[in-house]
A = this chain, B = another copy of it.
Amino acid sequence: MTGPLRIAHVGSVATSIPPDKSGSVELMTSLLTEGLVARGHDVTLFATGTSKTTARLHAIYPRGYWEDTSMWPWELCEMFNLAAAVERAAAFDIIHFEAAYYPMALAFSRLSQTPIVQTLHHSPSADEIALWSQYPEAPFVAISREQARLLSGLNVVATVLHGIDTGAFTFREQPEDYLLFLGRFTDGKGVLQAIDAAKRAGLRLILAAAEDEYYHAKVAPLVDGRQIVYAGEVDHAGKVALLGGARALVYPVQSGEPFGLVLAEAMACGTPVAALDRGAVREVVEDGVTGLVFSTLDDLVAGLPRVFALDRALVHAAAVQRFGVVRMVDGYIDAYRRVVGTHGARTGRSGS
């Protein structure tokens, strides 16, 4: 089939799509939905009533379980939202489940007359893969080759890097004089390494993330308000301002992440990144163009001048080209058509 697809896009029901505040999964879900509609597909978004979309909205909950603590356990809410789509499977060519936490759609995959494809938003462990391998035929879209590698043994039909709304990130030719760390305060994100790097380089570092226990226990004692500055949690406008003003985004990530949205967002502002080589970093950062990827923190500290020397206009242009929504939407449409075709061939259905 080559015409418009009838797509059930099942988002999380934690909060609205797109989210009011933070929620990168919910933001990506929204970008994909709107992009699919813009390309003429017939999209039904299964999400909370607070969601805003040009697709048809199917909402079994007025709001999300982040806002309404009576909606408990959250797993059941996500299950009911997914079930609402599967119960209407005949109306769709494909069901796309954005598994924010785990791929519960596997349990529904053999009960649906319409194929269900899933996107994961974390790096699965070997134990998880062993568990999920009860359903080796169920299709996944990976968000990086790194995640696809971890999904080994499962049916990865495509790898589609996330897109961002590049127009929402203002290009800044001339930065101010600071490094930026933007992300949750965890060991995995490497905030302590970022502080260490800034101190050793004798540079100013701004930290932006929500205040939490980790912040109070481990980060706050290192914040002096002069060289190491804490800016709190920022909204979108604040994020764009901080990203654009940074000489570089410092990303000394310690655990392997399947993507790294903040890398693409920094680049879209023209800001190069100084990153450690973990997880999907090499797939998101074009080494030598949009940033530099280092093996060790020592190398990163020593390499900062070379990061600053990268051409911010080229960083911006590369980000727009690689992380535009259109490319992501194209990737998903290809993946959908592949899954629908395979499913039609397997079941003898025409697929439309």
Binding site for B on A (CB under 8 A): 60, 70-73, 75-77, 79-80, 82-83, 86-87, 102, 104, 106-108, 110-112, 127-128, 130-131, 134
Asked whether A70 lies within 8 Å of B127 as measured between CB atoms, the reply is yes
Q: How many copies does the complex hold?
A: 2
Contact of A83 among B102, B110, B128, B131 (CB under 8 A): B110
Asked whether B127 lies within 8 Å of A110 as measured between CB atoms, the reply is no
Asked whether A131 lies within 8 Å of B77 as measured between CB atoms, the reply is yes
Q: Which residues of B contact A134 (CB under 8 A)?
A: 60, 80
Known: A71-B131, A130-B70, A134-B60. A80 touches B102 (CB 8 A): no
Asked whether A83 lies within 8 Å of B108 as measured between CB atoms, the reply is yes
User: Which B residue sits closest to A82, measured CB to CB?
Assistant: B107
Tell me the bound Cα distance from A80 to B76 in angstroms.
14
Asked whether A83 lies within 8 Å of B71 as measured between CB atoms, the reply is no
User: Which B residue sits closest to A69, measured CB to CB?
Assistant: B127
Tell me the bound Cα distance from A108 to B130 in angstroms.
24
Q: List 28 A–B pairs whose Cβ atoms lie within 8 Å, in order of A's numbering.
A: A60-B134, A70-B127, A71-B127, A71-B131, A72-B128, A72-B131, A73-B75, A73-B102, A75-B75, A75-B104, A76-B102, A76-B106, A76-B107, A77-B131, A79-B79, A79-B107, A80-B107, A80-B131, A80-B134, A83-B106, A83-B108, A83-B111, A86-B111, A87-B110, A87-B111, A107-B108, A108-B108, A111-B111
- The smallest C-beta distance from A123 to any residue of chain B, in angstroms, reads 15
Tell me the bound Cα distance from A111 to B112 in angstroms.
8
Name the prevailing secondary structure of the A interface residues: helix
User: Which B residue sits closest to A134, measured CB to CB?
Assistant: B80
Tell me the bound Cα distance from A51 to B59 in angstroms.
41
Tell me the bound Cα distance from A77 to B75 in angstroms.
13
Q: Which residues of B contact A60 (CB under 8 A)?
A: 134
Tell me the bound Cα distance from A82 to B134 in angstroms.
13
The 8 lowest CB-CB distance pairs between A and B, nearest first, are: A70-B127, A79-B107, A83-B107, A111-B111, A87-B110, A75-B75, A80-B134, A80-B107
Asked whether B76 lies within 8 Å of A104 as measured between CB atoms, the reply is yes
- The smallest C-beta distance from A109 to any residue of chain B, in angstroms, reads 8
Tell me the bound Cα distance from A108 to B111 in angstroms.
9
Tell me the bound Cα distance from A135 to B145 in angstroms.
40
Tell me the bound Cα distance from A111 to B114 in angstroms.
12
Asked whether B131 lies within 8 Å of A76 as measured between CB atoms, the reply is yes
Known: A87-B110, A87-B111. A104 touches B130 (CB 8 A): no
Asked whether B77 lies within 8 Å of A104 as measured between CB atoms, the reply is no
- The smallest C-beta distance from A121 to any residue of chain B, in angstroms, reads 15
Q: Which residues of B contact A86 (CB under 8 A)?
A: 111
- The smallest C-beta distance from A193 to any residue of chain B, in angstroms, reads 29
